[in-house]
Structure 1
Amino acid sequence: MNAAVRAVVRMGLYVGAKVYFIHEGYQGMVDGGENIREATWESVSSMLQVGGTVIGSARCKDFRSHEGRLKAAHNLVKRGITNLCVIGGDGSLTGANLFREEWSGLLSELVQQGLIEADAVQKYSALHIVGMVGSIDNDFCGTDMTIGTDSALHRIIEVVDAIMTTAQSHQRTFVLEVMGRHCGYLALVSALACGADWVLIPEMPPEDGWEEKMCQKLSANRAGMKRLNIIIVAEGAIDRNNKPITTDYIKNLVVKNLGFDTRVTILGHVQRGGTPSAFDRILASRMGVEAVLALLETTANTPACVVSLCGNQSVRVPLMECVQTTQEVQKAMDQKRFEEAVKLRGRSFENNLRTYKLLAHRKPESELPVSNFNVAVLNVGAPAAGMNAAVRSAVRVGISEGHKMFAVSDGFEGFYKGQIKEIKWGDVGGWTGQGGSLLGTKRTLPAKHVDKIAEQMRKYNINALLVIGGFEALECLLQLCDARSTFEEFCIPMCMLPATISNNVPGTELSIGADTALNAIVETCDRIKQSASGTKRRVFIIETMGGYCGYLATVGGLAAGADAAYIYEEPFDIRDLQANVEHLTEKMKTSIQRGLVLRNENSNVNYTTDFIYQLYTEEGRGVFDCRKNVLGHMQQGGAPSPFDRNFGTKISAKAMQWLSQKLVESYRKGRVFANTEDTCCLLGMHARALVFQPVVELKDHTDFVHRIPKEQWWLKLRPLMKILAKYKTSYDVSDSGQVEHVIHSRPKDSDASVAM
């Protein structure tokens, strides 16, 4: 929430508005006085890394009464406030809408009571409202992600990862209760992200007789070499008769039926606290800026709207439509129309549920189809967090579809050396939470060894190929595509999943691993900023990875509140460096006496990190001193973030289903033969959809010398970073959201929210 508050304040000041804080939620609006204070640029400094909300929040009885809203209206009119930006859940937003509808009536009452002048009614005739949804439950229909959800997932996953090690040692079963009284999003996504054995959510109560099924599954897993079981329960979990399912009930069940050593952990309010994740900071900053733009554009007769996220795009949706859909979910659940409740929650939720069912429940051998196809999976390029989750998902979906799955170690180098072995369902257990690449990965390209690779393909009769990796993976697929004319072995369906921390693959806006790297950068920047605040008047120059791609520096800069970010895509010269030094010199005169500058490793051959450090040191002499930090390979490591685990899991499942379909389509006369461009694709995320694009078509969109796409969506986030760092710059509003309707706001067959 703080990132949103900061963005609204700074964007508001940037467009020349007067911005006020209302402390303690609606209570502060009703009480007035000191609770409503003017905000300044400095007053929102240093709050990006703080959890919760700095301006306080309170549940307010008074605002529910007519008298309370009358007082609130009086307090706003006294200060001439007619634009409200409300950050909260559906309750807060419904309240805001009612307040807006009553506004002119409230003003007339205030005139009658002689509390305001008659001309004030004309002057302040309309109240404009824009909402942003802040809720860890992600229970609001009309947006893919609410502010706070990703951070809550971070807390849950940190706990689950820690519990898994102790459960592993003691061969225990753990029952974890996570928040979500009416919405199972957190439970479902964390179950997906840690590969839980069983999950219970309010939207999809288990079939009658589930107890026995669950116990069978737990004991089957133990029999298959697994030393632990994890069961995740949403606090609002119910059975088919709307009776609550408690953690204790499950514990006693497991102990009674199976005799397993079982423990219960209730996560509670841990999930609401802690530092916000990089994703949440960027989401909230984008939403905050969008909210200010929406307020500037509202007229007396536009309906109140909510700024929200669809795929990777900001959109605006009518507030009441969202609230109604959200309430319909609850109605559907009360009336036991569970399938419908899941549908109303939106595509993202449905996809999560489908993927979870696909991966968690292993069908007995007798029920599996037999396809007689062999599919190989390999990693290429540098390791990225989330690769293992993608491999696990591919292997399990492949097995469910009846294929034989083969794992190739050490990329194409391992391929031509014959490091290929069959991989089974149980071999990938516990892989989601592991960082790096368990299969091993190399940057070797296949071109020089095509003949040997073809020989191995013949030997193992490989009928389809899934390559998970970064820019190299794209080059590999292009080379294999070229080799089709000489070697028939490569005339098979091939698919690549983008996995690289640099996020520099054309044809996709996001890559597996980038979110984890961003979190590593942001966490380090937070610590460094803290150190700089202590010493005062200090500027840090931080070098990030990314090759020639400035994604990590730019988006990391936005999430960490940097003053500048130097990247290759936006050329800079000595005048820009000088302007930045002057800007920091001005900043040191305020109460914020620290600076943070990010530089992408290849942003400029001559303006190296050392050069910039020395320049700043010389120019800032007497005003500030400098330190430099090269973040290096810590950006590549670490446990994958919840986002990367899920993104990897879901796109990999989708890719395997696509490969299965292509295998069936290209099977003729007893063999697979596929040599068209559309059988060698990259699966990437585009604005709102997951799209399969032939790699040959991506050639024109790629700068192969610098290994980056020719056009990159995140460049439009740069002005945003500059505005929030107090630079005068022009902000392009051309892609700010138009109001759309909830019901029809999703393209029919796209899958962008799969990513979310």
Structure 2
Amino acid sequence: MRVGVLTGGGDCPGLNAVIRGIVRKGVQEYGYEFTGFRDGWRGPLDGDTVRLDIPAVRGILPRGGTILGSSRTDPLTVESGIRRIKENLAKSEIDALIAIGGAGTLRVAARLVDEYGVPCVGVPKTIDNDLSATDYTFGFDTAVGIATEAIDRLHTTAESHKRVLVVEVMGRHAGWIALHSGLAGGANVILIPEQRFDLDQVCAWVTSRFKATYAPIVVVAEGARPRDGEPARPSGVGEWLAEEIERRTGNEARTTVLGHVQRGGTPSAFDRWLATRFGLHAIDAVRDGDFGSMVALRGTDIVRVPLSEATARLKTVEPALYEEVGVFFG
């Protein structure tokens, strides 16, 4: 059997660990051969391939990014996209395809299985941790660790200069990174997309913090927005928020946007562990012919769930969980 592998969407720490797990077990235990497709779904669209064998995956476990490259190409929006994929899979003698990616990549895989009969297995990947069918996605732990370290470092600068520091982290639709890193880093305000914030309340928390002789740290997810009636930029909410805090409170405020640094570099130990296990179980799903499934973490077990279930809705922060951390605001 020959198995194709692709990585789609944004790069993420742990992608190479998945590839390594798939290839090592597939070659050593099942005698499979592997073909990598470059740059996400563009690879099977254009027939752009690379050989994957044990020497190719040697030493990649601690490397960030993906040796296969990635893109946000959607073959469903490309003219004759499905026909081209099927033709190129046939030319490369591919019997099954493993798609590693987030919601967008996996939605394509789900449709390819359900509507076009392309044999696919999915592996969940996103630093945002917003796929509902799995407890955690690899890359999330690394992103939280990077953000937490940044917040730790910024505390001393905030206190030295007695200024507000706003830390903008990733999270367009879900506030998991902001919630986890903000709590772990001792932030005084955490703002997430799931809960529109009251700017007056944020400024009150900032003022209260200064009265306690501490300089506040505000962690804001990139998708967080104020309540209706208070304008915010469609991007750059951190900079807008710092300007508003300074204008309304009279306290100097600065912004740090962590951006892509959150998803770059070497994966954490947890993400290496989780990504490797996902890879091992993904190739097992291929062996079992369980196409249309995605591997997922439930507790400490790796299970299989339908791709359609995995991409049906985003996993967002529940109000009760957000309320738990409110005791630390201000």
Q: Which range, TM-score by smaller chain?
A: 0.7 to 0.9
Once the two structures are superposed, the pairs formed by residues 449-460 of structure 1 within 5 Å of their partners are: none
* Displacement of 1:248: 3.1
Aligned residue for 1:22? 37
345 and 213 in structure 1: CA distance in 2 versus 1, 3 angstrom threshold = closer
Are 1:69 and 2:56 an aligned pair? no
* Displacement of 1:313: 1.8
* Number of residues of Structure 1 aligned to a counterpart in Structure 2: 311
- Aligned 8 A contact 2:33 2:53 in 1: no
Aligned residue for 1:151? 142
Structure 2: stretches of 5+ with no match in the other structure: 1-14
**Aligned-partner residue type, residue 19 of structure 1:** F
Q: Percent identity?
A: 36
**Aligned-partner residue type, residue 92 of structure 1:** T
**Aligned-partner residue type, residue 269 of structure 2:** A
**Aligned-partner residue type, residue 183 of structure 2:** L
- Aligned 8 A contact 2:26 2:32 in 1: yes
Aligned residue for 2:107? 94
Deviations 1:578-601 (A, max 9, x none): xxxxxxxxxxxxxxxxxxxxxxxx
179 and 25 in structure 1: CA distance in 2 versus 1, 3 angstrom threshold = same
Aligned residue for 2:210? 222
Aligned residue for 2:316? 345
Which stretch has the larger CA shift, 248-257 or 155-164?
A: 248-257
* Displacement of 1:200: 1.4
In structure 1, the residue corresponding to 2:80 is in which secondary structure?
Answer: helix
Deviations 1:537-561 (A, max 9, x none): xxxxxxxxxxxxxxxxxxxxxxxxx
* Displacement of 1:258: 2.1
* Displacement of 1:276: 0.7
* Displacement of 1:351: 6.3
Q: 2:328 aligns with which of 350, 354, 360?
A: 360
Q: 2 CA distance for matches of 1:145 and 1:350?
A: 19
* Displacement of 1:87: 0.6
* Displacement of 1:144: 1.5
Aligned residue for 1:291? 282
Q: 1 CA distance for matches of 2:52 and 2:324?
A: 45
* Displacement of 1:61: 4.8
Aligned residue for 1:313? 301
In structure 2, the residue corresponding to 1:132 is in which secondary structure?
Answer: strand
Q: 2 CA distance for matches of 1:250 and 1:320?
A: 38
Q: 1 CA distance for matches of 2:98 and 2:109?
A: 9
**Aligned-partner residue type, residue 144 of structure 1:** D
Q: 1 CA distance for matches of 2:26 and 2:76?
A: 26
Greater relative contact order (CA < 8 Å, ≥ 6 in sequence): 2
Are 1:197 and 2:184 an aligned pair? no
Aligned residue for 1:161? 152
Are 1:133 and 2:85 an aligned pair? no
* Displacement of 1:91: 0.7
Q: 1 CA distance for matches of 2:177 and 2:220?
A: 10
Q: 1 CA distance for matches of 2:245 and 2:110?
A: 47
354 and 296 in structure 1: CA distance in 2 versus 1, 3 angstrom threshold = farther
283 and 254 in structure 1: CA distance in 2 versus 1, 3 angstrom threshold = same
In structure 2, the residue corresponding to 1:324 is in which secondary structure?
Answer: coil
74 and 102 in structure 1: CA distance in 2 versus 1, 3 angstrom threshold = farther
Aligned residue for 1:53? 66
Deviations 1:222-272 (A, max 9, x none): 22232x211111111123339646223322232223221211111111112
Q: 2 CA distance for matches of 1:140 and 1:62?
A: 21
Look at both structures and tell me which one has the larger radius of gyration over its CA atoms.
1
In structure 1, the residue corresponding to 2:24 is in which secondary structure?
Answer: helix
Q: 1 CA distance for matches of 2:225 and 2:144?
A: 22
Aligned residue for 2:17? 3
26 and 231 in structure 1: CA distance in 2 versus 1, 3 angstrom threshold = same
Q: 2 CA distance for matches of 1:43 and 1:350?
A: 45
**Aligned-partner residue type, residue 189 of structure 2:** W
Aligned residue for 1:276? 267
Q: 2 CA distance for matches of 1:71 and 1:213?
A: 54
Q: 1 CA distance for matches of 2:98 and 2:257?
A: 34
316 and 350 in structure 1: CA distance in 2 versus 1, 3 angstrom threshold = farther
In structure 2, the residue corresponding to 1:325 is in which secondary structure?
Answer: coil
**Aligned-partner residue type, residue 64 of structure 1:** T
Aligned residue for 2:218? 231
Deviations 1:434-470 (A, max 9, x none): xxxxxxxxxxxxxxxxxxxxxxxxxxxxxxxxxxxxx
**Aligned-partner residue type, residue 288 of structure 1:** G
Q: 1 CA distance for matches of 2:247 and 2:53?
A: 61
* Displacement of 1:70: 1.0
TM-score, structure 2 as length reference: 0.88
- Aligned 8 A contact 2:74 2:108 in 1: no
- Aligned 8 A contact 1:84 1:130 in 2: yes
- Aligned 8 A contact 1:85 1:130 in 2: yes
- Aligned 8 A contact 1:130 1:295 in 2: yes
In structure 1, the residue corresponding to 2:67 is in which secondary structure?
Answer: coil
Q: 2 CA distance for matches of 1:297 and 1:7?
A: 17
Q: 1 CA distance for matches of 2:64 and 2:321?
A: 27
**Aligned-partner residue type, residue 101 of structure 1:** D
Structure 1: stretches of 5+ with no match in the other structure: 105-126, 327-343, 363-756
* Displacement of 1:320: 0.7
In structure 1, the residue corresponding to 2:251 is in which secondary structure?
Answer: coil
Q: 2 CA distance for matches of 1:213 and 1:96?
A: 44
Once the two structures are superposed, the pairs formed by residues 239-638 of structure 1 within 5 Å of their partners are: 239-241=226-228, 244=232, 246-298=237-289, 304-326=292-314, 345=316, 352-357=321-326, 359-361=327-329
350 and 9 in structure 1: CA distance in 2 versus 1, 3 angstrom threshold = farther
In structure 1, the residue corresponding to 2:278 is in which secondary structure?
Answer: helix
- Aligned 8 A contact 2:199 2:226 in 1: no
Q: CA RMSD in A?
A: 2.0
Aligned residue for 1:607? none
Deviations 1:81-138 (A, max 9, x none): 121111111111111122223435xxxxxxxxxxxxxxxxxxxxxx322111111111
**Aligned-partner residue type, residue 148 of structure 1:** G
Q: 2 CA distance for matches of 1:23 and 1:323?
A: 23
38 and 256 in structure 1: CA distance in 2 versus 1, 3 angstrom threshold = closer
* Displacement of 1:182: 1.3
In structure 2, the residue corresponding to 1:204 is in which secondary structure?
Answer: coil
- Aligned 8 A contact 1:64 1:95 in 2: no
**Aligned-partner residue type, residue 54 of structure 1:** I
194 and 287 in structure 1: CA distance in 2 versus 1, 3 angstrom threshold = same
- Aligned 8 A contact 1:188 1:352 in 2: no
TM-score, structure 1 as length reference: 0.40
Q: 2 CA distance for matches of 1:273 and 1:141?
A: 24
- Aligned 8 A contact 1:73 1:103 in 2: no
* Displacement of 1:62: 4.6
Q: 2 CA distance for matches of 1:354 and 1:82?
A: 49
Q: 1 CA distance for matches of 2:146 and 2:282?
A: 28
In structure 2, the residue corresponding to 1:199 is in which secondary structure?
Answer: strand
* Displacement of 1:24: 1.4
Q: 1 CA distance for matches of 2:159 and 2:37?
A: 49
- Aligned 8 A contact 1:184 1:202 in 2: yes
**Aligned-partner residue type, residue 112 of structure 2:** F
**Aligned-partner residue type, residue 356 of structure 1:** V
**Aligned-partner residue type, residue 25 of structure 1:** G
In structure 2, the residue corresponding to 1:308 is in which secondary structure?
Answer: strand
* Displacement of 1:352: 4.2
- Aligned 8 A contact 1:27 1:63 in 2: no
